Structures are given as structure tokens and as C-alpha cells.
Amino acid sequence: MVHRHRDVQGGTARAAVFGVSDGLVSNVALILGIAGAGTDPSFVRLAGISGLLAGAISMAAGEFVSLKAQAELVERELEIERISIAENPEAEEAELAAIYVERGLDPDQAGRVAAELMSDPDVALEVHAREELGVDPNQLGNPTAAAAASFVAFAVGAFVPLVPWLIGSGTSAIWASAISGVGAAALVGGVLAMLTERSVVRTVVRQLLVASGACAATYVIGGLVGASVV
């Protein structure tokens, strides 16, 4: 039966998952930390909105720069390999044959396979990139798409714990923000478990521990800082 694989190397899916999780945890921690200090609700709202915008922009910029740098490094290595294939085809063919011998082929069979692959420079480059660099030259990722996915995902995650403060304040908003943040973290864990086909319970519990730990720690610290300032 023929099956298809998702693109897990492009960076966009990773950026989206990491973005929504980071936005959720970081902003709920920020909001509860500020709220724990006992400040005015309008300041909590301002801090939450600022955290959303600053975090989303920072995540997008960081994702773009990191993925772009990674792609440029890989492209540089591919160019070195391309030149070597053109100038030293015999050495590259022998290197490829040696790889297949290590994989279990007998030397004669490995030599024939390597010779066949080396007959087409484009195929040879792709094979050498996979075998030597461990990358697919056709899946270096799209920095712009990854940055956009990271921005949107972070903003969505960061908006969830902010909602209670846009429509309310006080203790009820604190509890609503914490519960919505932890609940959304559990939802993210469930979706992630479905995508990776791993244990739903284990993944959800992991997300809950991270989110609830961040909430509790920042709220307590915020309260201590607020008390000390007062």
C-alpha cells in the first residue's frame, strides 16, 4: 500500500506548534505575574497586549533568521559537493560505493549502484546530500512561511489568556486566565499527540505541567515582588 509522508523538515509545522505553545505559556505567565503583583487591571491588559505583539514579532524574526541561516549553510555545503562531483567524480563515486557497502551491499553491487547514480549530476548531488549531509536539498524550508506561521501561532496562543482581561478584571479574570491557559495547553498537547501518533495522555500531561508550572511560579513571584515594592 502506497503511503505519503508529511513535510516535517520545512520548518513551517514546527514553527506553528512551537509558536502557539510558546505564545500561550509565555503570555499567561506574563499576565499572571503582573496580576500577582496586584497592579491595576488596565496595566495587566497593556502588559498582555505588549507581550503578544513583542513575542509574536520576536518569534517571527528569530524563526526567519534561523531558518534562513540554516538554509544558507546547507546551500554552501551543497555547492561544495556539487563542485567536487564535477571535478572529482571518481572519488565521489568511490565514496558513495563505500557508504552502500557499510549499509550492507556487497562491493560489486555497491559499485554498480554508485555508478548508476553518479551518471546524472543532479541525482548524484541529491544522493550525496542525503547520505553525507543528512538533508533533502528539495526541502530546505521557506523562511518567510515559517516566520508567518510563527507570528500567527504565537499571537493566537498569547491571545487566549488575555481574553478574560479584555472583558473583566480582578480575581475572576486571574482564574479565568489561568484556566483558559492551562486548558489551551492541554488542547495543544492533544493535537500534537494526534499529529505525532504518541500517547495523548502523556503529551497532554507534559503540556499541562509546563503551563501550570509557569502560571504558578510567575504568579507567586509577581506577588512577592509586588509585596516587596509596597
4 falls within a domain = no
pLDDT band for 14, please (50, 70, 90 cuts). Answer: low
Identify the domain containing residue 18 by its residue range. 12-229
Number of domains the chain contains: 1
Do the domain assignments include residue 5?
A: no
User: Which pLDDT value is given to residue 11?
Assistant: 52
Extract the C-alpha cell encoding 18: 512551537
Q: For 18-49, write each residue's pLDDT tens digit.
A: 778 788 888 888 888 888 777 688 888 898 99
Look at residue 213 and tell me if it is in a domain.
yes
Nearest to 51, CA basis, from 181, 158, 179, 161: 158
pLDDT(205) > 80 = yes
Is 197 within the bounds of a domain?
A: yes
In a domain, 111, yes or no: yes
Alpha carbons 152 and 101: distance in angstroms, whole number: 47
- What confidence tens digit (pLDDT) does each residue in 133-191 have? 777 777 777 888 888 888 998 999 889 889 998 888 888 888 888 888 888 888 877 77
User: Is there a domain that residue 143 lies in?
Assistant: yes
Name the one residue in this structure whose C-alpha cell is 509585596: 227
Q: For 170-179, what is each residue's pLDDT tens digit?
A: 888 888 888 8
DSSP per-residue letters across 187-226:
HHHHHHHHHHT--HHHHHHHHHHHHHHHHHHHHHHHHHHH
Give 76-128 pLDDT, tens digit per residue: 888 888 888 888 888 888 888 888 888 888 888 888 888 888 888 888 888 88
Record the pTM.
Answer: 0.71
3 within some domain: no
